[in-house]
Amino acid sequence: MPESFKAIVLDSARCTGCRVCQAVCSAAKEQGFNLAKARLRIEADGPLSFRLEVCRRCEVPACVVACPTHAVEMADGLGIVVIDSQDCTGCGACVRACPYGGLSQWPRRRVPVCCDFCAESPECVSACPYGALSYGGRPQAGGG
C-alpha cells in the first residue's frame, strides 16, 4: 500500500464477529441489509478469532494484473480499484487473484465490487460498536 493511502484495519482482539460493519456497508452501497453484498467481510479464523477481508490498496494490485480485458485498474490519485463495467466480462479473474479477498462477485451481478473507502470516511469503521475497525494504519502481513 502506498504511504499516502490509508487502509481499514481490524483489531482482532476487539472483534466479536457481529458483522455490523458488513450490514452497514451493504446498506450504504446496495441500499439494503445483506451481509453477502458488503465490500468487506469478517471471517472466522477460529472460535473467537476473526480476520478482515477488504481491499488493502496494494502498490501493484494482483486484481489489476489478473484482468484479461484491463477492466480493473487503480483510479489515478485515489488509490481505489475501479472496474469498467463496459470492459468487464465477469470472468472473476480479479476476484480469484486478490490474496486478501478484497473483491466480491455475486450471483446476478456480472461486475465484481471492491471497497471504495466511502470517500475516505468508511462507514463500516464508524459503525463498529466495539471499535475493532480503524482507518489509517497499515494492515499486518497475514492479519486483519
Domain span at residue 96 reads: 8-135
* In a domain? residue 140: no
**Domains identified in the chain, total number:** 1
**What CATH number did the domain enclosing 108 receive?**
3.30.70.20
Is residue 131 helix, strand or coil? Answer: coil
Tens of pLDDT along 6-32?
A: 999 999 999 999 999 999 999 999 999
pTM, two decimal places = 0.87
Task: Look at residue 72 and tell me if it is in a domain.
Answer: yes
Cell 455475486 found at: 106
Q: Using one digit for the tens of pLDDT, what is the confidence trace for 58-117? A: 989 999 999 999 999 999 888 899 999 999 999 999 999 999 999 999 888 899 999 999
The residues, ordered by sequence, that sit 6+ positions from 15 with a Cβ below 8 Å of its Cβ are 42, 50, 130, 132, 144
> Considering the domain boundaries, does residue 143 fall inside one?
no
